[in-house]
Chains A and B, each alone.
Chain A
Amino acid sequence: MSRGAFRLSWDKSILLLLILLVLFGGMNNEYFATGDNVNFILGDISEIMLIAFPMALLIIVKEIDLSVASSLTLASALCGVTWQATGSIWVAVLAGIMTGVACGLLNGLLVTRLGLSSLAVTIGTLALYRGLCYVALGDTPIADFPTEFTDLGYTPIAGTFLPWVVVPMVVAGIVFWYVLHGTRFGRWLFAIGQGDEAAEFSGIPVLRVKLWLFILTGLMCGIAGIGYTVRFASSSPDGALGFELLVIAAVLFGGVAIAGGVGTIWGVIAAVLIWGFSQSYLQLIGWDANALVIVSGVLLLLSVTIPRLLGALRESVAQRTFRPKGTEGAPPPPGEGVAEHSPAGAGHDQGSHRG
């Protein structure tokens, strides 16, 4: 009954939830399952999906990036400014993506070279990058992008109802799935999350891996920033506010353990889709847009409480009836594990202190 095995069943259950949600929505609302609506939903979730992939990898190695929304907006801003300055949309797109990479690089250097906590660093750069958006754009958004560029935001791919932003999403999904679950690099990520010291003693360049993950996160923010610019046909300094929390909520709901070392890409994909479809359904049945924020909050809370409740239930059942195969070296159920290295009597209070 390892954590991995349990998490796997969590992934499966949210996939089931996604299917039930789509069926339920489709049966109860005639517009829900139409091509137009799915087109809209896929566009709406595209930035979250693109950034949730690298965020999942960061959380697996016990790091986090809270500056993703600001990085995305700064990428969009620099894309707009470059468009105005050069008149070349290709140069502008490149500038936007490189801005994202630069944001990630700075985060990564601060975390890995100076040994700072990524939580603290990225709270700082969250504010810094947002501030730079205002410096770059002033108070006025840039909205004079060429129409062939902004049309990509909603025109479907010829012969389908799918928006063009599906392309980077699908490509990224395949690449991230392959990297995390197939390659040596993916194994390294889980190893770092499960024991960073043991990982280092096994020859894994822990800091370099983390630096690359931050750069990768920046790259995906840059790409998402371009997508955002396309879809909203503008660069504005106050775009994507609070977006980082949606991304993190989706990643955790997708079964990535906040304590690191556990997670799957398809869990993350399912979680983002659940978020998108549930938002759409609630909008269709007439919920207020502001009330929809509640959904994200509830999903996040569910994602952290349900596994814990199930785990506690399972442990209490396990303790009464059976224990997994093993000898004395078998892992004690939680609570016991805490007390194991503390004096028997004070196990409870000391354990919670250390924990």
Chain B
Amino acid sequence: MAQPLLRISDASKRFGGVQALDRASLVVHEGEVVGLLGENGAGKSTLVKTLAGLHQLDAGVIELDGRSFRQGNPRLAREQGVAIIYQEPSLFPDLTLAENVFVGRQPKSGGRVDWSQMRARTASLFADLGIDLDPGRLARGLSIADQQMVEIVKALSLDARLIIMDEPSAALTNAEVERLLGVARRLRDQGRGVIYISHRLEEVFQVCDSVTVMRDGATVASAPIAEVDTAQIVRWMVGREITEMFPKVPAQIGEVILSVEGLSSTGEFHDISFEVRRGEIVALAGLVGSGRSEVVRAIFGIDPITSGTITMAGTRLSRHTPSRAMAAGISLVPEDRRLQGLLMPASIAHNTALTVLRRLRRAGLVRIGAERRLAEEWATTLRLRYASIDDPVERLSGGNQQKVVLSKWLATSPRLLIVDEPTRGIDVGTKAEVHRLLSEQAAAGMAVLMVSSDLPEVLGMADRILVMREGRLVDEISRADATQERVMTAAAGAAA
């Protein structure tokens, strides 16, 4: 091929004691989608932030279009043709889509903003990508997927040559992911370069022309997609063989722990009934927005219910609140780790102990020593990677943060552990550890209820799969009968 669009070689960057980039390299050609892969902490984000103009390398060369890339300034990065699409875009909710696309550089005529031109140019950019959105509507209420589309259009309006998608699919439904991949291909066909970052390898195989894998700040391998397979990529990423992605431990399934009957919440879900038994892992599958998270939040007492009953080990729960749910032996590892799972500025020790402070008291005072010991024990059990137990959790990588959330809830010794998207956005190695942990807990007699959009995870882990669609339970599938097709058909309805 001709001269590459982007060439990074020998990039190094150090943050205090951590070598975030260690002579990393990356090449992207025009008209190519490159999958950039690696575990959390491998150096992908540092590389992306450097291209976004947020970091300056300690050493190394970045060339864009054969010219040296000027680093350390976001505005300059944009002018040089780099655009980043983030997992959670940040549009101005009270501006129209057209205004969002042209924010700060609205087309003018005679000193005044030319609204019709702005709208027309946005509409034509939307049409180019096959996006069905009205440029005149406000950004408020737009789905994350649509917001990402607006960001992509904005990048195109700036004539970006290199478009970096940083885990864009993490919060999207399957149909939305399909559309996103279609747009990525279209950008490639227009001769632009695309860097696609994702933990979901299926997507990488669908859309990428080549992959570059990073580990510990260095580039481990780059190869055309046709020459690699999943096993090879995972080996590169973790540096070892992961024998089993879903280490299912056989468990003795015992008596009913949780029983839910006729649970309804107006506008959210309707007439939900099911049971979870001791030693059993039950998956709650379905599309995003089908009401899964709402059901488990109601079981944990966060959201109110309009009718129905929740029974834990034979005792009916009334006037339900999270603290009552906890007293009854229910734990919930929530969907949003940063907002619901953890106090980001607080220490690992404080986060871990928050659910069990009652137990750590003497004469009304929380015993600091006991608190730290508890956190350290769980950190060891879950193989947490940390420097000090007093470090704020916001310094940990996503996978390690999730381990702290799991610690905090396992510390309550729950009889029912509910996990909502337990492995979203965490790397393959940690994912396997979380799966092993869930399996072991079930084998030790815990009941596990797992909400997940990750089908291989659902099929690999669950003893039983409940499928929700539009707020109702539509199917129940045993482990033996479960296939991806059957789950998807139930989740998407007759249309699929």
Contact = CB atoms under 8 A, between A and B. Distances in A.
Interface of A: 2-4, 178, 182-184, 187, 190-191, 194-195, 197-205, 261, 322-332, 336, 339-350, 353-354
A329 B90 contact: no
Contacts of A322: 15-16
B483 interface: no
B366 A343 contact: no
Given A3-B345, A191-B346, A349 B103 contact: yes
A327 B89 CA distance: 23
Nearest to B341: A198
Contacts, number: 183
Interface in B99-137: 103-104
B87 to A, nearest CB: 8
A353 B364 CA distance: 44
How many chain B residues sit at the interface, stated as a range, is 35 or more
A200 B397 CA distance: 23
A345 B77 contact: yes
Contacts of A203: 321-323, 325-326, 355
Q: What are the 7 tightest A-B residue pairs by CB atom distance, in nearest-first order?
A: A345-B78, A323-B15, A344-B52, A329-B397, A326-B395, A327-B41, A194-B343
A347 B31 CA distance: 27
B361 A341 contact: no
B460 interface: no
Contacts of A194: 343-346
Interface stretch (B150-158, B260-268, B373-381, B442-450): B150-158
A329 B394 contact: yes
B495 interface: no
Interface stretch (B43-51, B193-201, B276-284, B463-471): B43-51
Given A329-B398, A346-B154, 7 more contacts: A195-B342, A202-B354, A205-B321, A328-B397, A332-B49, A345-B75, A347-B54
B350 A187 contact: yes
Contacts of B17: 325
A3 B395 CA distance: 13
Nearest to B77: A344
Contact of B15 (A190, A197, A326, A353): A326
15 contacts: A184-B361, A201-B341, A202-B355, A205-B321, A323-B16, A325-B17, A326-B18, A326-B395, A331-B395, A341-B88, A342-B89, A343-B89, A344-B53, A344-B84, A346-B104
B339 A197 contact: yes
B328 to A, nearest CB: 11
B40 interface: yes
B74 A348 contact: yes
A202 B40 CA distance: 26
Contact of B44 (A184, A190, A328): A328
B213 interface: no
B69 interface: no
* Most-contacted residue by chain A among B77, B82, B339, B357 (CB, 10 A): B357
B40 A328 contact: yes
A327 B86 contact: no
Nearest to A324: B16
B83 interface: yes
Contacts of A327: 18, 20, 40-41, 395-397
Given A184-B366, A343-B151, A4 B345 contact: yes
B392 interface: yes
B354 to A, nearest CB: 5
B40 A329 contact: yes
* Most-contacted residue by chain A among B74, B302, B364 (CB, 10 A): B74
